[in-house]
Amino acid sequence: MPVQAGKIVQGKVTGITNFGAFVELPDGEVGLVHISEIAEEYVKDINDFLKINDPVKVKVISVDPKGKIGLSIKQTVETVKRRPAPRKKFEVSFEEKLNRFLKDSEERQQGLRRNADAKRGGRGNRRS
Protein backbone atom coordinates (compact mmCIF):
# COMPACT_ATOMS: atom_id res chain seq x y z
CA MET A 1 0.00 0.00 0.00
CA PRO A 2 1.59 3.31 -1.04
CA VAL A 3 2.09 6.01 1.55
CA GLN A 4 -0.33 8.92 1.55
CA ALA A 5 0.24 12.49 2.62
CA GLY A 6 -1.15 13.19 6.07
CA LYS A 7 -0.66 9.69 7.48
CA ILE A 8 1.34 9.12 10.65
CA VAL A 9 3.46 5.96 10.59
CA GLN A 10 6.25 4.32 12.55
CA GLY A 11 9.65 4.16 10.87
CA LYS A 12 13.33 3.56 11.51
CA VAL A 13 16.22 5.98 10.94
CA THR A 14 18.50 4.51 8.28
CA GLY A 15 20.76 7.44 7.49
CA ILE A 16 21.75 10.87 8.77
CA THR A 17 23.09 13.75 6.69
CA ASN A 18 23.76 17.39 7.49
CA PHE A 19 20.39 18.37 5.93
CA GLY A 20 18.12 15.66 7.36
CA ALA A 21 17.54 12.03 8.23
CA PHE A 22 16.40 9.16 6.04
CA VAL A 23 13.65 7.02 7.54
CA GLU A 24 12.55 3.60 6.33
CA LEU A 25 8.79 3.21 6.45
CA PRO A 26 6.91 -0.05 7.19
CA ASP A 27 6.35 -0.84 3.49
CA GLY A 28 10.10 -0.59 2.75
CA GLU A 29 10.03 2.86 1.19
CA VAL A 30 12.45 5.51 2.39
CA GLY A 31 11.57 9.14 3.06
CA LEU A 32 13.49 12.20 4.20
CA VAL A 33 12.90 14.20 7.37
CA HIS A 34 14.38 17.61 6.60
CA ILE A 35 16.40 19.21 9.41
CA SER A 36 13.67 21.84 9.83
CA GLU A 37 11.13 19.08 10.54
CA ILE A 38 13.12 17.28 13.27
CA ALA A 39 12.06 19.35 16.28
CA GLU A 40 10.29 22.55 17.28
CA GLU A 41 13.56 24.04 18.52
CA TYR A 42 16.56 24.99 16.38
CA VAL A 43 18.47 21.90 15.25
CA LYS A 44 22.16 22.56 14.64
CA ASP A 45 23.29 18.92 14.68
CA ILE A 46 20.83 16.15 13.85
CA ASN A 47 22.96 13.67 15.81
CA ASP A 48 21.87 15.45 19.00
CA PHE A 49 18.30 14.31 18.26
CA LEU A 50 18.50 11.09 16.25
CA LYS A 51 20.74 8.04 15.87
CA ILE A 52 20.75 5.36 13.18
CA ASN A 53 18.23 2.55 13.89
CA ASP A 54 16.17 4.79 16.22
CA PRO A 55 12.45 4.09 15.90
CA VAL A 56 10.57 7.28 15.06
CA LYS A 57 6.99 8.29 14.54
CA VAL A 58 6.72 10.42 11.38
CA LYS A 59 4.01 12.20 9.46
CA VAL A 60 4.02 11.98 5.67
CA ILE A 61 3.86 15.61 4.54
CA SER A 62 4.43 15.13 0.81
CA VAL A 63 4.80 12.53 -1.90
CA ASP A 64 5.96 13.92 -5.22
CA PRO A 65 5.41 12.27 -8.63
CA LYS A 66 9.02 11.04 -8.72
CA GLY A 67 8.39 9.07 -5.53
CA LYS A 68 10.24 11.29 -3.08
CA ILE A 69 8.61 11.21 0.32
CA GLY A 70 8.78 14.20 2.67
CA LEU A 71 8.42 13.40 6.35
CA SER A 72 8.10 15.32 9.60
CA ILE A 73 8.78 14.33 13.17
CA LYS A 74 7.81 17.63 14.77
CA GLN A 75 4.30 17.51 13.26
CA THR A 76 3.58 14.26 15.11
CA VAL A 77 4.19 15.85 18.49
CA GLU A 78 1.15 17.42 20.06
CA THR A 79 2.03 21.03 20.69
CA VAL A 80 0.50 22.68 23.70
CA LYS A 81 -0.77 26.09 22.75
CA ARG A 82 0.26 28.48 25.45
CA ARG A 83 -1.95 31.35 26.38
CA PRO A 84 -0.29 34.64 27.03
CA ALA A 85 0.16 35.24 30.72
CA PRO A 86 -2.64 37.34 32.16
CA ARG A 87 -1.62 40.91 32.77
CA LYS A 88 -1.04 41.56 36.42
CA LYS A 89 -2.94 44.41 38.01
CA PHE A 90 0.22 46.08 39.28
CA GLU A 91 1.86 45.95 35.85
CA VAL A 92 2.37 49.40 34.35
CA SER A 93 0.97 50.18 30.90
CA PHE A 94 3.13 51.38 28.03
CA GLU A 95 1.70 54.90 28.24
CA GLU A 96 2.52 55.12 31.95
CA LYS A 97 6.06 53.90 31.29
CA LEU A 98 6.47 56.44 28.50
CA ASN A 99 5.20 59.30 30.69
CA ARG A 100 7.56 58.28 33.50
CA PHE A 101 10.48 58.13 31.05
CA LEU A 102 9.71 61.59 29.63
CA LYS A 103 9.42 63.09 33.13
CA ASP A 104 12.72 61.51 34.26
CA SER A 105 14.41 62.58 31.04
CA GLU A 106 13.24 66.19 31.45
CA GLU A 107 14.50 66.23 35.06
CA ARG A 108 17.90 64.97 33.95
CA GLN A 109 18.09 67.58 31.19
CA GLN A 110 17.29 70.36 33.68
CA GLY A 111 20.02 69.11 36.00
CA LEU A 112 22.55 69.08 33.16
CA ARG A 113 21.55 72.61 32.11
CA ARG A 114 21.93 73.88 35.69
CA ASN A 115 25.34 72.24 35.95
CA ALA A 116 26.50 73.74 32.65
CA ASP A 117 25.19 77.20 33.58
CA ALA A 118 26.98 77.07 36.94
CA LYS A 119 30.25 76.19 35.23
CA ARG A 120 29.92 79.01 32.72
CA GLY A 121 28.82 81.71 35.15
CA GLY A 122 30.91 80.76 38.18
CA ARG A 123 34.37 81.33 36.75
CA GLY A 124 33.97 84.82 35.50
CA ASN A 125 35.79 86.20 32.55
CA ARG A 126 39.00 88.05 33.45
CA ARG A 127 40.64 90.19 30.86
CA SER A 128 43.72 92.24 31.40
Rounded mean pLDDT for each run of 10 residues along the chain, 128 residues in total: 86 95 94 94 92 94 92 81 61 86 92 84 56
Q: Is the pTM of this model over 0.95?
A: no
Residue 94: predicted pLDDT: 86
Q: What is the pLDDT of residue 77?
A: 81
Collect all residues with Cβ–Cβ distance below 8 Å to 20 and sequence separation of at least 6: 32, 33, 34, 35, 37, 38, 46
The pLDDT of residue 15:
96
Contacts of 24 (CB under 8 A, 6+ apart): 11, 12, 14, 30
Residue 123: per-residue pLDDT: 54
Would you call 13 exposed, middle or buried from its count of C-beta atoms within 10 A (0-12, 13-18, 19+)? buried
| Cross-strand partners of 11 | 56
**What was the pLDDT predicted at 59?**
94
Residue 116 is predicted with a pLDDT of 85
Write out the E strands in the chain.
8-16, 20-24, 30-34, 55-63, 69-72
